[in-house]
Amino acid sequence: MNKKKGFFLTFEGPEASGKSSQIKLLEKFLKNQKIPYHITREPGGTHLAESLRSLILRKNSNINIEEEILMLMAARSHHINQVIKPAIKKGKIVISDRFADSTFVYQGYVNKYGIKNTIKLHKDLLNNFLPKKTFLFKLSTNNILTRLKKRKSKNKYDKLDKKFHDDVNKGYKIISNHKRFINIDASKPINYIHNKIIYHLNLLI
């Protein structure tokens, strides 16, 4: 196994789909195997980007969609240049809990900036920097709502209605017709999903 080859992976999907728990399990695995890694998240990943995260996800903020997208792009640019690219260069597997696909779905589709317009901005401003593979967690809206009921609200998207979660699912369906995406049935047991992720990881390293 070549442990020196760095690359970038992302985890995407709707609210409460279990991405973050799976990233924790993956981190344990990488640590045990002594495979160099860096775990990060979006919006966030740098001090500046984490500050923007709290502004973007704040409830009752009065920023409009253009302002929100520009803040996300600024945060992402900083994250890519300061953290992701340097870590890949050092031979690490970089894993981000959400990345550009979330912007294509949440701002582009759900909040109607337009998927094509959002992808164009990503190309123009961020040189179309994308992960090697994306684990896309899929969960029905009913399951999302059941899981969210048991959770304390974390951000402005957590407590939205059925239509919002339906739209998020539709958005992911539209953008994910590409071999970069590995579909994960998020209703399956935690260990089953973990093993599937490790299987795909082993194909990459």
Closest CA to 138 of 100, 193, 180, 178: 193
Q: How many CB atoms lie within 10 A of CB 35?
A: 16
- Say whether residue 106 binds ligand TMP (CB under 6 A): yes
Residue 121 CB, nearest approach to ligand TMP (Å): 11
CB 113 within 8 A of CB 160: no
Q: Which of 23, 26, 49, 72 binds ligand TMP (CB under 6 A)?
A: 72
The one-character DSSP state at 152 is -
Q: Which of 145, 157, 159, 198 binds ligand TMP (CB under 6 A)?
A: 157
Residue 170 CB, nearest approach to ligand TMP (Å): 15
Site residues (CB under 6 A) for ligand TMP, limited to 44-63: 57
Q: Which of 51, 61, 127, 155 binds ligand TMP (CB under 6 A)?
A: 155
Assign 11 to helix, strand or coil: strand
Size, binding site for ligand TMP by CB under 6 A: 15
Q: At 143, phi and psi to the nearest 5?
A: -65, -40
User: DSSP states of 60-92 as a string?
Assistant: T----HHHHHHHHHHHHHHHIIIIIHHHHHTTP
Choose the binding region for ligand TMP from 29-37, 96-104, 126-134, 177-185 (rule: CB under 6 A).
96-104
Residue 100 CB, nearest approach to ligand TMP (Å): 7
- CB of 23 or CB of 87, closer to ligand TMP: 23
Ranges of beta strands (E only) in the chain are: 7-12, 37-41, 93-97, 133-138, 181-185
CA distance 168 to 41: 19
Residue 106 CB, nearest approach to ligand TMP (Å): 3
CA distance 154 to 159: 9
Residue 144 CB, nearest approach to ligand TMP (Å): 11
Strand partners, 184: 137
- CB of 29 or CB of 157, closer to ligand TMP: 157
- CB of 89 or CB of 152, closer to ligand TMP: 152
Site residues (CB under 6 A) for ligand TMP, limited to 161-200: none
Footprint on this chain of ligand TMP (rule: CB under 6 A): 15, 41-43, 57, 72, 97-98, 102-103, 106-107, 154-155, 157
